[in-house]
Amino acid sequence: MQQASIILDPDFRIGEIDPRLYGSFIEHLGRAVYGGIFEPGHSTSNQQGFRGDVLDLVRELDVPIVRYPGGNFVSGYNWEDGVGPREERPTRLDLAWKTTEMNQFGTNEFAAWCRAAGTGLMMAVNLGARGIDAARNLVEYCNHPAGTAWSDLRIAHGVAEPQAIKTWCLGNEMDGPWQIGQKTAHEYGRLASEAAKVMKLVDPSIELVACGSSNTQMPTYPQWEETVLDHLYEQVDYISLHTYYRLENDDLGTFLAQSMDMDEYIHTVVSVCDYVQLKKRSKKQLMLSFDEWNVWYHARETDKLLMRDDPWQEAPPIAEEHYSMADALLVGSMLITLLRHADRVKIACVAQLVNALAPIMTETGGSAWRQTIFYPFLHASRYGRGISLNVKVTSPCYDTKEFGPVPLLDAMATIDEDQQTAIIFAVNRSQTGALELTGDLRGLNGYQVIEHLVLDHANPAAMNTADAPDEVTPTKQNAATVKSGHLATVLPKLSWNVIRLQKTPVNLSLS
């Protein structure tokens, strides 16, 4: 059995973990809204049409913020179409996904859904087909108390209190040729700067996210970030990052190493942000919003054929990734990577939440279930709070053409001093066998293992389905121990692991 080790010291701090690191995303894409979070007439739906079984699973994930309404969809969206009496709302062609949008679910419904789910709302404005005026009007409609045309219209629509939406995205992927209203970096920078100005004039309390590059393969990356931030560095609080990974040529080793690309992506964007800060002699340090990330490859070809051969459907099954055990491992490593950069990545949104690229799947009119990727996200969201720690990892490696030597062990840790808990998240990438893990827990005197959760399966292609919703689920392992400040355990091959440590009380006796 191969061996790996970690050194975990509570003094080796990276930064405080913003709860919004465990955010998600709902776009008007496929069945994410219709048949996903919203299905009037479903046996579990409430009077608002919100599916109760989906709400229960979202609450279980403890998602702190959800980005809406896109995504590519937002660049062709008129927000006014989705408010007011439903019978008066127009039906539109959604050019982003070649579907028909009924507009039976819009801004106020989503804000109400967020309240029901116990989450916050991260709103995107259309800077593709529209611009400054529509953006400022939406902020006024949502956030202004009363006494103006747009705020009074909201009240007339049955929403007396302001929605008080704090976080706003200035468009979506505006460098992409697939985007309605694609712009150069200078064009977008100027437009976003003016939109930011008027939006903050309406509500100075909001925070703004600028569009970064759509992905690292764009020909303008990372010059896009530098040019855009040169226009609006002082006006925004975050710049966005987006990435999706795929399995190619059945090369599982390379697939599981792709979180290393995510790590380099974050390093690069941080460097550009800091360069612009120095260039402008600014006192403000810009943070990152990794507001689209996931695995996406199972459904791509099917989606292309569906949109080509049968376009303009209402809520067709687009981007319905059925995730495998191997996909859950990469999602786990991506979560570890986000935690590793918790000092600068303050918002992250797994894309998406229900049905489309999602940890939660549903049958329209039927059941809802947890996909394999639900579990690493659940564990990170539930336990990965407090302070992110810089863990020293020593591990054997395997070779890849793309990334060179890749450690078998990918590990990260957090500590919550108020709760006196420490959490170790670990992925064993080995396809051949278990890893014997030892840990030097210096500075964690009195901490003991209270639980070791393991997600694994004999078949890395195993999936959860409506007929077998529990095919891949976590189990508890009893082998992890701490003796004299040293951890010892075994990580099964191709496994996601959560080792929970709790400080035990000191027993005092009176003599």
> Can 173 be counted among the known catalytic residues?
yes
SS3 of residue 416 by DSSP: strand
Q: Going from the N-terminus, what domains does the chain have, and what CATH number goes with each?
A: 2-10+388-503 (2.60.40.1180), 18-383 (3.20.20.80)
**Structure confidence by residue, pLDDT tens digits, 342-398:** 999 999 999 999 999 999 999 999 999 999 999 999 999 999 999 999 999 999 999
Indicate the pLDDT class of residue 505, thresholds 50, 70 and 90.
confident
Indicate the pLDDT class of residue 326, thresholds 50, 70 and 90.
very high
Written as one letter, the residue type at 22 is: Y
Average pLDDT over residues 172-201: 98
| Catalytic-role residue among 39, 80, 173, 320 | 173
d(CA 174, CA 395): 40
C-alpha dihedral sign at 48, 49, 53, 54: negative
| Catalytic-role residue among 27, 80, 101, 292 | 292
**Structure confidence by residue, pLDDT tens digits, 102-119:** 999 999 999 999 999 999
Closest CA to 59 of 113, 124, 122: 113
Q: What is the DSSP letter of 354?
A: B
d(CA 161, CA 383): 34
**Structure confidence by residue, pLDDT tens digits, 417-471:** 999 999 999 999 999 999 999 999 998 999 999 999 999 999 999 999 999 999 9
Indicate the pLDDT class of residue 506, thresholds 50, 70 and 90.
low
pLDDT value of residue 411: 98
H/E stretch holding 239 reads strand 238-245
Average pLDDT over residues 5-33: 97
d(CA 165, CA 167): 6
User: Token digits for 23?
Assistant: 């955010």
> Can 363 be counted among the known catalytic residues?
no
pLDDT value of residue 510: 46
SS3 of residue 258 by DSSP: coil
Average pLDDT over residues 490-510: 84
d(CA 460, CA 204): 49
pLDDT value of residue 507: 52
In this predicted structure, the answer to whether residue 484 has a pLDDT above a threshold of 70 is yes
SS3 of residue 325 by DSSP: helix
Cis before 371 (ω within 30): no
Instruction: Specify the pTM.
Output: 0.97
Task: Please report where in the chains the tokens 């560095």 appear, as a residue.
Answer: 233
d(CA 19, CA 264): 23
pLDDT value of residue 6: 98
